[in-house]
Copies of this chain bind each other. A is one copy, B any other.
Amino acid sequence: MEEFHNVETDSLLFEKISEKVRKHPIVIVGLPGIGLVGKIVADYLIKQLKAKKFAIFYSPAFPPQVIMKRNGKVRMLSYRFYHANVSSKEFIFLVGDIQPFDSDWQHGVCKGLLEYLSKFDPKEIITIGGYGTNQFVQKPRVLGAANAQVEIEEYKKLGVVFGEARGSIIGAAGLFVAMSRFYGIPAICLMGETHGAYVDANAAKAVLEIIAKRFKLKIDYSELEKKVQLTERAMREIEEELKKMQQPKEKENLNYFR
């Protein structure tokens, strides 16, 4: 069996793989959410920057199911921490399978993760999400919501739009930003405009460009472009299916009442 060390924090379980993470990292959080924008962005950066997994996080907040892998093994639903050092900047990426459903577990998991991350004394936490518009967006803007004025100033320069997003950010992307203030960590949520009903690599690209500019990263978008095309096709198919659904249900009714 593989070796592992684990540290338990209340009902959270961390499995450490490596401890070579440097202090003062930039943390990028991409959990499942609207348009899967956050997930695509974080996964893409992990691949592009060749980030290495250094910790796994398990929680009773996740559904009691295990994923069967192609190699015959199982793995629990988890959040995974990766890190990469690019031009003397340390990055931590947090990705995962799912978000907890219950309010108190969302708060509990978020607090547990922030307490873990705060040990590395992060410079900044960036959460990625989608901003649902219910419309096809040709040129998605990136909307921002931060916990400190310094973040707003920094990202305004890069073209991020503040004060125009309406309503609430639901789930971890928002909670991380708000709760980071209690740990004294500047944090921002970057939201790519997206339809909301499909996986949107286009919105992901818009966010990736902001991050690349901010940290002077060279990102090869060629793989993402392929994803964008696939996503656009998927989108058109969904829209056509939606149209069909809105047409009168004649056939079904005939069938049902014959």
- Chain A interface residues toward B at CB < 8 A: 1-2, 4, 6, 11, 13, 60-76, 101, 103-108, 110, 144-150, 152, 162-163, 165-172, 174-175, 177-179, 181-182, 184, 186, 189, 248-250, 253, 255-258
Return chain B residues, CB-CB under 8 Å to A152: 71-73
Contact A64 B258 (CB under 8 A): no
User: Which of B62, B174, B178, B256 contacts A103 (CB under 8 A)?
Assistant: B62
- Given A73-B152, A103-B61, is A145 in contact with B68 using a C-beta cutoff of 8 Å? yes
Contact A170 B65 (CB under 8 A): yes
Contact B171 A64 (CB under 8 A): yes
Kindly provide the distance from the CB of A4 to the nearest chain B CB, expressed in whole angstroms: 8
Contact B253 A72 (CB under 8 A): no
- Given A163-B70, A167-B68, A174-B66, is A1 in contact with B181 using a C-beta cutoff of 8 Å? yes
A232 to B167, CA, bound (A): 26
The A interface, classified by DSSP as helix, strand, loop or mixed, is mixed
A148 to B172, CA, bound (A): 33
Closest to A108 in B: B60
Complex copy number for this chain: 4
Kindly provide the distance from the CB of A179 to the nearest chain B CB, expressed in whole angstroms: 7
Contact B256 A63 (CB under 8 A): no
**Residue from the set A4, A166, A257 with the largest chain B CB neighbour count within 10 Å:** A257
Q: Which 6 A-B pairs have the closest CB atoms?
A: A72-B162, A64-B106, A60-B107, A66-B174, A60-B104, A65-B168
Can you give 15 contacting A-B residue pairs, CB < 8 Å?
A61-B104, A64-B103, A64-B107, A65-B169, A66-B168, A66-B175, A72-B144, A72-B145, A73-B145, A74-B146, A74-B174, A74-B178, A75-B178, A248-B255, A253-B257
Contact A256 B253 (CB under 8 A): yes
Return chain B residues, CB-CB under 8 Å to A107: 11, 60, 64
Contact A64 B170 (CB under 8 A): yes
A179 to B234, CA, bound (A): 37
Closest to A255 in B: B248
User: Which of B11, B72, B174, B256 contacts A65 (CB under 8 A)?
Assistant: B174
A165 to B70, CA, bound (A): 8
